[in-house]
Structure 1
């Protein structure tokens, strides 16, 4: 059971309690669950009962008990406990959790770089507009990729003629010219508001595309422009080219290359990946599985909020989790050790991580070379 699955299970319990008139409170849009801290009980915890206590006019522990009885025995949950003033603590069913983890890895490997793509924005035509400025153009292009991955048709316009160097950054513009004014002479919208383009306006890069390409190349330029939030200045110095763990772009691409190297190494040793229960035995594997499971939600949120930086930061989290896993439990046997079920399962998880990294980089317009 992933954190998203557990959140949905808790939310279902809240809805059920409200429908049964056991709880009189508004149903939240989502329920937050997080891993328990060291010394805490169970695998995950939620403060939803404390959040609902006020609106329900009930003590938080009583709200927690109402929810606990409605989650006991739910698939994937082994035990639900109440601690402190009303925290719900969840211990997952190990057997069901292991099966879910194997299914997650298989899903990633089957869908490939399209894992996490969905239809959340299907049928919603979107229009974006931006100034003749490189960061705005790169951001609009990344937003186009993200919303298309969620099923939306997209059209992008630039206020004036495109910079010819943008083509070297993979940028395409559908139309040129200023978007229509927001109101006419009578103060009324000249077109339905939904048809007005959304303006993409990050803090300008302070340099032209040609200069950035000459100094950094296309991949580092795009990453440097997209990694910071749009309201922050984009650092565009030589640190983007450093081949070290302190450079997030290098870290993400190197993690992808290492995952590829594991596949080649296993092939030389005569075995292939196979998701299985053994993948769930190491804490580092569980942490990597958790960030992989978060990938679809991250893509949907990045598309919805027009925020490619969310995806970039998520890829960094996947890379960090991959290297923790890489250091703790190698997918390749050491010395004269024979490949085991654990090695095959770890290899499958490493390949899934590499797949997520490749797919995410592609949506940012950044290449994911198999070798660095």
Structure 2
């Protein structure tokens, strides 16, 4: 019995008490969902709820009396083995072994869909992350968002939302000309321009541009700059896409900032803002009155020299997303963008939206990577760049992704290459992946002995045989997975998946090491229904760990 199933059972009992007049509550006062938690202390049942404390006042009674009344009804419910009233009115609930063991069969039947829910059904979400300039390789500064943005998209999808992962290409502005000038300088053997880009990758890019279009560097200066900018942009953007795909990060949309201006979206946005009365002119510049909605100062849309600001593009881009039908726009921004939170919220309010309903802004902290105890530094302009490809090659995609995913976005992070690549139980990614590999080995060993899953997990499967204390702990851990996924989606916190997997792997290993819970028959012992029931449990563990790792974009190896 999962917490969700027990929640339904408790609610049904409340509805029945109201219906027969035993409980003086209006139908509307019965909660649609009853909160079910796992007790912190052993001996306090399998699950607990404080619903009696929540409803007692409305029912005109005291919490303990309501808990007693509800407990008597729950004791008659299928799958409930016992009820204990604790403290002022908590209900500690023990489920019978059969109901608990059925969780394993349900997981195996659900397969890759186990953990998915409908909590966000109908919600369309645009997740924008990374948003790099197409002027160089992706580097350490992009890795955290490459992982977290992708993982957030995966958990939102698992909760039922319709998700679009979007990369905003910063391909407008003077940096694109500096980019072209840097490539030209490298091709002609000249030093990089003062505001340009240096480093080995620029020379490599120059060679790639020449190979793609021979003679391009012999063109007249103005024509050459435009041609090199276009070729370099295409090559660099293609490399960024290939890098991210290899890193298990997929984008549904690659959106060009320049296209906003070429399509007329920015002028249309300015006209809309004027119509809404949220812009004004001052000293030759055009401002958006964002202070009306909590910003610390009004924001410039058009400078006094007529140049559009990035904020004008940001506003047009937000409106473009909303026009494409997205209910919520989720932005993942770097540590230097704290000021953008109120700015973006005010912008959404200025165009007529409620930012609490349409906007989420997450700010991520920086990541430091240590090699041999020394921080790995980077600087795209100085040419000491450490690329995402280099990090993935040295650390491994799985180790790097998992290590970045297991911490909240807003926590500063220092990763030691030696620690996150170590093949030991002290390394969380190794620990979790090894749990999956161990279940695969158990299943393979069972097959060698001719063991099989009970037919269709039907009458042949006796769930009550999974009655050992360690099995109860493991089943309760597995039953928590859907709720963990739903919470991770609601809070945009995929690190909850990683921490859950580590805890569950620990519970699994304790079960595996318990002599009384051996899955395989010993010596000449025949295969018993208990052995087969434990095989179902091993399959369930394998499925949950694989599903959880999949939500983080990390592989689930069968051998290690």
Report the counterpart of residue 277 of structure 2 in structure 1. Answer: none
Q: Pick closer, same or farther for the CA change 1:279–1:215 going to 2, 3 Å.
A: farther
For the aligned residue pairs, the C-alpha RMSD in angstroms reads 3.0
Distance in 2, matches of 1:270 and 1:43, equals 34
Report the counterpart of residue 41 of structure 2 in structure 1. Answer: 37
Contact 2:2 2:103 in 1 (8 A): no
1:1-372 to 2 correspondences below 5 Å: 1-14=1-14, 17=17, 20=21, 22-23=23-24, 27=30, 30-35=34-39, 37-38=41-42, 40=44, 42-53=45-56, 58-92=61-95, 94=96, 97-98=97-98, 100-131=99-130, 132=132, 133-160=142-169, 163=240, 165-173=243-251, 174-176=253-255, 177=257, 178=314, 179-180=317-318, 188-189=350-351, 198-206=360-368, 208-237=387-416, 238-274=418-454, 275-277=461-463, 279-328=465-514, 329-372=517-560
Give TM-score, length-normalised by structure 1.
0.86
* Larger-Rg structure: 2
Contact 1:292 1:356 in 2 (8 A): yes
Q: Which stretch of structure 1 is more off in the superposition, 244-253 or 122-131?
A: 122-131
Q: Pick closer, same or farther for the CA change 1:87–1:122 going to 2, 3 Å.
A: closer
**Shift, 1:101, TM fit:** 3.9
Give TM-score, length-normalised by structure 2.
0.59
Distance in 2, matches of 1:344 and 1:58, equals 49
**Secondary structure in structure 2 of the residue aligned to 1:158:** strand
Distance in 1, matches of 2:249 and 2:46, equals 44
Deviations 1:319-365 (A, max 9, x none): 11111111111211223333221111111101110111111111211
Q: Pick closer, same or farther for the CA change 1:209–1:71 going to 2, 3 Å.
A: same
Deviations 1:135-172 (A, max 9, x none): 12221111122222233222223343564532321222
**Shift, 1:77, TM fit:** 1.8
Structure 1 segments unaligned to the other structure (5+ residues):
none
Equivalenced residues, count = 366
Q: Pick closer, same or farther for the CA change 1:124–1:44 going to 2, 3 Å.
A: closer
Structure 2 segments unaligned to the other structure (5+ residues):
133-141, 171-236, 258-313, 319-343, 370-386, 455-460
